[in-house]
Structure 1
């Protein structure tokens, strides 16, 4: 069942047309917009990370606010679960937000799922940030606790923070979280401005 859960949580996104467009430097941009974000969700790194965990969490039967989730991600953002396949080789999946919602959304609502941050390491320079966020998650209907690292890239466009990508791997087999990514060791931040 744990492998089914990990597989389900590692699934897909496609951003629909809505209201808010982030900046682009592409000379031939594709116009993709996302729902407007609640200002409190995107005003700081702390706020957007908290919103990211909050939006997928809830008891069994509780609908998730998928437009809120979409509003956190820049158009074209990626969600990339990594792990060991059945044959022993390491791989990853490259998903968009709507892919993840389509593949995991029903399971999260049906079984109930809660995920929260245990510890964090943040690096920031100017308008970009990289957050190594140690997480713990569990299905309401199962005793298994899932822990791992979310590697989150963020952009501040001068108005708000955007999630650019989430790349994660859960503990498995002999791969366990090292002490320096656990509470009391990982809560550090380094910042530099241009």
Structure 2
């Protein structure tokens, strides 16, 4: 078990007790006004030590590639963007599939400059894989893509 588990705010532990709560907590960690510090310690607490994230990158020629991060490299990658941009990712729909101690979540989202803003920055879907161990849920991987021409939501 990781060391920081013993020293955390009680609310963080509550975040990990059910799937909707842990997903909501991730969105809360990455959302905020431009320049506002994100709660990276809470974000780290939600992720398994071996967690990975994968962002789909669309190149100028329309081709795609995967950008893969561990927790620390993801934080380093997004911090400059969050320093300059207001960004609130708001879940709009969730589908959970669970078998025993593993779960998969399809989470659709809208990104906006404020939670209630009519301005849509982008929308997309997160594929989140979780495992329940040591009395809590852990995020093991998050893979996402953004909506764009030719990519439609056909999950539902």
TM-score where L is the length of structure 1: 0.70
Q: Does 1:170 align with 2:146?
A: yes
- Aligned pair count reads 149
Which of these residues, 92, 95, 101, is aligned with residue 127 of structure 1?
Answer: 101
Give yes or no for contact 1:83–1:170 (8 Å, CA) kept in 2. Answer: no
Which residue is 1:58 aligned to?
Answer: 32
Which of these residues, 68, 74, 88, is aligned with residue 42 of structure 2?
Answer: 68
Pairwise CA distance, 1:103: 1.2
For residue 91 of structure 1, give the secondary structure of its aligned residue in structure 2: strand
Aligned counterparts of 1:84 and 1:106: Cα–Cα separation in 2: 20
Rg larger in 1 or in 2? 1
TM-score where L is the length of structure 2: 0.85
RMSD: 2.1
Pairwise CA distance, 1:145: 2.4
Decide which structure has greater strand share: 2
What do the CA deviations read for 1:73-115 (whole angstroms, capped 9, x no partner)? 0011000011432233221111111111111123213311100
Aligned counterparts of 1:18 and 1:63: Cα–Cα separation in 2: 23
Structure 1: which 5+ runs fail to align? 1-16, 22-34, 182-194
Q: How do residues 23-172 of structure 1 correspond to structure 2 at under 5 angstroms? A: 36=8, 38-139=12-113, 143-172=119-148
Give yes or no for contact 1:64–1:109 (8 Å, CA) kept in 2. Answer: no
Which stretch of structure 1 is more off in the superposition, 103-112 or 92-101? 103-112
